[in-house]
Each structure stands twice: as C-alpha cells, then as structure tokens.
Amino acid sequence: MKTRKAAEPTITHDLTPDRTDCPRCGQPMWADYANRRTIHTLAGVTRLNLTIRRCHNTDCAAYKKPYRPEAEGSFALPRHEFGFDVLALVGRLRYAEHRSVPEIRVHLVGRGVSVSPRTVTNLLDRYDELLATSLTDDRRLQAVLAAQGKVILAIDGLQPDVGHEVLWVIRDVLGGEILLAKSLLSARNQDLATLLEQVKAACGVPVAGVISDGQHSIRKAVAKALPGVPHQLCQFHYLREAAKPIYEADRHAKVGSRRRSEGCGRSSGRSRAEPIRRPRWCAGTARRSVAPSPTTGGRRWRRRG
C-alpha cells in the first residue's frame, strides 16, 4: 500500500539546554545524544533539532534521565505534533466564531495545515483542558481583577452540536479574562444562578453589570444571583432581533412580487401546466441511413415509429 508522503520541514530551530549542571546533585550533565522533532505550525512545518543532556552520577536520583531544552515547551505540548498557534486558532474558531469541526478543518487546510476531522476534535479536547487549567489559577485572576476594581460579566452558552452539552462561558468584558467555563445539560435559571454566584464569590471585586442575550433563563438567573446589578442585552443579539420584522416584510414582498410576475406569464392565454404541442413529424426519433441520398448526395433521414 502506498502511504502519504510527509511534509518536508521549512523552518529549523537548533535547541540546547541552558542548564549544564544537574538540578538534583549539581554535577555537570553531558550532552549524550541529539533528537529531532517535527511540529506543524501556522508558519509552516518546523523541525526542532534537540540536544539532550543526562547526568552520569550513579548516586543521583536523575541518573541517565534525559534533560531536554527548556525552549522546547514554547513550541508545542509534550508528545504533540501541532504548535500552540494552531491550538489557539482552533479554540478561537470554535468558541469565538462558532464554527463546526468540518469548517475548522477547511480553514486549517487553507492556512497550509493538513489535518483530519478527528485531529481537529483532539485539538479541541486539548484546548478545553488548557482552558480549564488556566481558570484554576485564582491568584492570577484576582490580581488582574483587583487592578481593574470592578468587572462587567458577559454570559453566553455555546452548543457545538445539536443534542450535546452546552458550554456556558462567563468572562469579564473589561479585561477579556474568562472567569468560568462549565458544561451543563440544561439551561435552567437555577443552574445559571449557581454559576453566577460562584463567579461573584471568586472575583473579589464588585460586579458593575451583566451583558447577555434575551434568554429568559439568563434574565431570571441574573435577577436571582445579582439583584440590583444592571443587565443589558448584547448589541449583536438586540440588532438581530430588531431586524426580524424588516426581514419578514422583505420576504413577503419578494413572495408577492414573484407571484405577480408568474401571473403576468399566465396572462398570455396558455397555462403553465399545459404541455407544449410539438409537430407530428418530430414525435418520433430520427435515424440516419447508411446509404447516401441519390438526389442530394448527402445522407437520408428516416423517421422511426
């Protein structure tokens, strides 16, 4: 069976560990061997030439354990072939632009990254794991929010596919930080109120306002968890709802115009359902004879049937 040829690297980086002494025993580490790694990034296929050091002190706990270059972790996750830029792009296309897995794959292929739909699904799982890990760093978030002095919450539910769990994301509009992300099977106001109460307790600063769409469960949850806090509808959803009457009026106008144009075509006297009458001489199919015509020298036509 013929296999697909792997893409050739277009970018090369030579990485060497900055540390030369063992972090356990302090003895010098030797550059024992070299390794290479191929990573797919948005800039192109990248080849990492890695120098691996090891400690040769037999009494050390890190004896003969590989010590890889520190800069390797800035390109991709361990044992992954796609860079962080591809991972971030997949997450943005999914949760910011609400694109499906096939659409994300088409976008990546257009950017020069060859992936399969299954690979896109795996990248989304890694993105969710990294997001959950970053959200557990409460000290960093509290420091960022304390510098702002207040937060304006935006809550929205993202459902990747019909029938799946809804990913509810609560973020700060002022700083752009994601404060909470959790999947729920339902969108009851009691469940959403619990999420808002968790965010309120973790922020440590007052909530100045809430922005969301006009979903009734969200309205009730905000009134229950954050009483007295101003609640504004998202401008995108507001303008979309405001344009619905105009869209419906335009759609009815198009239908009426099409019906009037069809009526003008039927006013000529012949119904649209009436078939076109053909002459009797062309009702059958013609067959060309092999023998030429004695008068014209060309080929004769004989009607079949």
Interstrand relation of 166-172 and 178-184 (parallel, antiparallel or unpaired)? antiparallel
List, as one string, the DSSP characters of the chain: -PPPPPPPP-EEEEE--S--B-TTT-PBEEEEEEEEEEEEETTEEEEEEEEEEEE--TTSTTBT-EE--GGGGGTB-TT-SBBHHHHHHHHHHHHTS---HHHHHHHHHHTT----HHHHHHHHHHHHHHHHHHHT-HHHHHHHHHHHS-EEEEEEEE-SSTTSPEEEEEEETTT--EEEEEEES---HHHHHHHHHHHHHHH-S-EEEEEE---HHHHHHHHHHSTT--EEE-HHHHHHHHTHHHHHHHHHHHHHHHHHHHHHHHTTS--TTSPPPPPGGGSS-EEEEEEEPTTTSSEEEEE--
Residue that terminates a domain, selected from 57, 75, 93: 75
Report pLDDT digits (tens) over 41-79: 999 999 999 999 999 999 998 899 999 988 888 888 888
pLDDT at 196 over 60: yes
* Range 3-6 contact pairs with CB under 8 angstroms and sequence separation of 24 or more: 6/38
pLDDT confidence of residue 94: 87
pLDDT range class, residue 180, cuts 50, 70, 90: confident
pLDDT range class, residue 245, cuts 50, 70, 90: confident
Q: Are residues 144 and 127 in the same domain?
A: no
270 part of a folded domain:
no
pLDDT confidence of residue 159: 59
pLDDT at 240 over 80: no
Q: Are residues 123 and 155 in the same domain?
A: no
**Phi/psi of residue 46, each to 5°?**
-110, 135
pLDDT confidence of residue 37: 94
Region label for 297, one of left (φ > 0), alpha (ψ between -120 and 50) or beta (otherwise): left
Q: Are residues 6 and 60 in the same domain?
A: yes
Q: Are residues 26 and 44 in the same domain?
A: yes
42 with 86: CB under 8 angstroms?
A: yes
Q: Are residues 24 and 46 in the same domain?
A: yes
pLDDT, average across residues 288-304 = 52
Pairwise pLDDT comparison (134 vs 161), residue with the higher score: 134
227 part of a folded domain:
yes
Report pLDDT digits (tens) over 221-231: 999 999 999 98
pLDDT range class, residue 166, cuts 50, 70, 90: confident
Q: Are residues 199 and 154 in the same domain?
A: yes
Pairwise pLDDT comparison (41 vs 177), residue with the higher score: 41
255 part of a folded domain:
no
pLDDT range class, residue 163, cuts 50, 70, 90: low
27 part of a folded domain:
yes
pLDDT confidence of residue 267: 53
How many alpha carbons lie under 13 Å from residue 246 in its C-beta half-sphere?
5
Q: Are residues 151 and 211 in the same domain?
A: yes
pLDDT confidence of residue 34: 95
pLDDT at 272 over 60: no
29-38, 139-148, 202-211, range with greatest mean pLDDT: 29-38
pLDDT confidence of residue 90: 92
Counting residues of the chain whose pLDDT is more than 90, the rounded percentage is: 29
156 part of a folded domain:
yes
Per-chain mean pLDDT for the chain: 80
pLDDT range class, residue 297, cuts 50, 70, 90: low
How many alpha carbons lie under 13 Å from residue 49 in its C-beta half-sphere?
5
Q: Are residues 156 and 229 in the same domain?
A: yes
Domain extent for 41: 1-75
Interstrand relation of 151-158 and 207-212 (parallel, antiparallel or unpaired)? parallel
Q: Are residues 33 and 105 in the same domain?
A: no
pLDDT, average across residues 137-155 = 84
pLDDT confidence of residue 145: 87
pLDDT at 236 over 70: no
Q: Are residues 146 and 178 in the same domain?
A: yes
Q: Are residues 122 and 146 in the same domain?
A: no
9 part of a folded domain:
yes
CB atoms within 10 A of CB 13: 16
pLDDT confidence of residue 11: 92
Domain count, the chain: 3
Pairwise pLDDT comparison (275 vs 25), residue with the higher score: 25
pLDDT, average across residues 83-106 = 89
Residue that terminates a domain, selected from 93, 121, 136: 136
Q: Are residues 165 and 190 in the same domain?
A: yes
pLDDT at 286 over 50: no
CB atoms within 10 A of CB 172: 22
Nearest-angstrom CA–CA distance, 127 and 89: 10
Residue that terminates a domain, selected from 30, 48, 75: 75
253 part of a folded domain:
no
Strand partners, 13: 48
60 part of a folded domain:
yes
- Model-level pTM? 0.52
pLDDT at 280 over 90: no
